[in-house]
A = this chain, B = another copy of it.
Amino acid sequence: MKIKGVNLGGWLVLEKWMAPQVFRGTQADDEYYLAQDLPNDIYQDRIAGHRLEFISERDFVEIAARGFNMVRIPVPYFIFGDRPPFIGCIDELDRAFTWAEHYDLKILIDLHTVPDSQNGFDNGGISGVCKWAQEPEEIDFALTVLERLSQRYGQRSGLFGIEVLNEPIGKKMWKTMDVPDRYPARDPQKAAGSQPISLSFLSDFYLKAYQRISINLAADKIVVFHDGFELNAWEDFFKQHRFNNVMLDTHQYLMTAEADGITQTVDSYIAYIQKLKSQITEVQKYVPVFVGEWTLFNSYAVGTDTQGGRNALQVDFNHSHKLTASELREVYQTLWQTQTEAWDEGVGYFYWTYKLLIDTVNDSGWYGWDSWDVSRAFNKGWITKNKEI
């Protein structure tokens, strides 16, 4: 059975572009500064409200009805509530487990942030900072979070597995994304010394994490490692170590391929996906691999070069060639079909994302960004079928 999953992005780990409402009245670009910019009682109440409203039981009903069998849930390092001023969210994850078990979905817990960040993205918790890997105490703290998660959920029938770290950034992606420019640090001093993470550091961390959590996991649970945006770099790692039940997570966005220079046409996207498909087939020979994040979003459908997926908060776009509704449907249907078929050469996928609060009608700068929202994509007829395998 293949993974047909969707990410609950923007729920327990905030991303401003996914729910700009949560950042209203502040200049904050990430949760680190949101907590600083709001009075503490307002911050606490606002976060509580967002968590209770953004995802609730009815979303699990919908996800199951859409033919998905799994959700990937990004969680922050402060999930246990021991890193003030940030607010824990273990109760929310507890409730998600009862929903998942009731509606026959599995959960992949994804540690999406660590203190001082593993990538410098806004979704790493603090834009422009990437220093976690240089801080031994924080590396150890991340391990204790993983350990506690494995202790709490390791025997739950709703658990699929634990992904030990989301998108630790390697040199190549650091350059592609141009992190210091795209995610400017609010406090340059805090960002000083930020740099990409080496694969040797990552291998070492992954081994330690595996050791710490696998002893708490029931036999069928999976430990997941993100590829650090280098899908082909892990053959030796998996061949040298005798892991039980591990998988490799690779994130594949067309916008990243665009940033690396591919032509912004449907044919070019398809050719690019076919190449990826071959790579997945190769990797699959030594480790099960899934695409833990991907989307229908692309510059051709948006009608303008999004410069690697920069959004309306960052750039004021001119939509030069809007497609008709039926053209748009055809593009997205084709890309859904092509991508899911490619990802199924591995063990499946998680779409990014389930839900967005952006308003594409009242704020035309968001035109085209609704394709990131899988519910809208179903409701607009861009996905006609969640392929049975």
Which residues of B sit under 8 angstroms from A380, Cβ to Cβ?
A: 61, 65
Residue on B nearest A355 in the bound complex, by CB: B58
Q: Is the CB of A58 within 8 A of B375?
A: yes
Does A46 belong to the interface (CB within 8 Å)? yes
Which residues of B sit under 8 angstroms from A381, Cβ to Cβ?
A: 65
Q: Is the CB of B361 within 8 A of A57?
A: yes
Does A373 belong to the interface (CB within 8 Å)? yes
Q: Which of A94-102, A109-117, A201-209, A256-264 has 4 or more CB atoms under 8 Å from chain B?
A: A94-102
Copy tally for this chain in the complex stands at 2
Residue on B nearest A57 in the bound complex, by CB: B359
Residue on B nearest A51 in the bound complex, by CB: B21
Q: Is the CB of B53 within 8 A of A50?
A: yes
Q: In the assembled complex, how far is the CB of residue A335 from the closest CB belonging to chain B, in whole angstroms?
A: 19
Rounded to whole angstroms, the CA-CA distance of A381 and B64 in the bound complex is 12
Q: In the assembled complex, how far is the CB of residue A4 from the closest CB belonging to chain B, in whole angstroms?
A: 16
Q: When the two chains form the complex, which single residue of B53, B370, B375 contacts A53, counting CB atoms closer than 8 Å? A: B53
Does A357 belong to the interface (CB within 8 Å)? yes
- A32-67 vs B: 1/0 string, CB under 8 Å? 000000010110011011101110111001101100
Q: Is the CB of A359 within 8 A of B42?
A: no
Q: In the assembled complex, how far is the CB of residue A66 from the closest CB belonging to chain B, in whole angstroms?
A: 8
A-B contact pairs, 29 of them (CB 8 A): A19-B53, A21-B53, A22-B49, A41-B41, A41-B42, A42-B42, A42-B45, A46-B49, A49-B50, A53-B53, A53-B357, A56-B357, A57-B360, A57-B362, A57-B370, A58-B357, A58-B370, A58-B375, A58-B379, A61-B370, A61-B375, A61-B376, A61-B380, A62-B375, A65-B379, A65-B381, A95-B362, A98-B362, A99-B362
In the complex, besides A46-B49, A57-B360, A57-B370, 13 extra interface pairs with C-beta distance below 8 angstroms are A22-B49, A24-B48, A41-B42, A49-B49, A53-B54, A57-B358, A57-B361, A57-B362, A58-B373, A58-B379, A61-B379, A98-B362, A99-B362
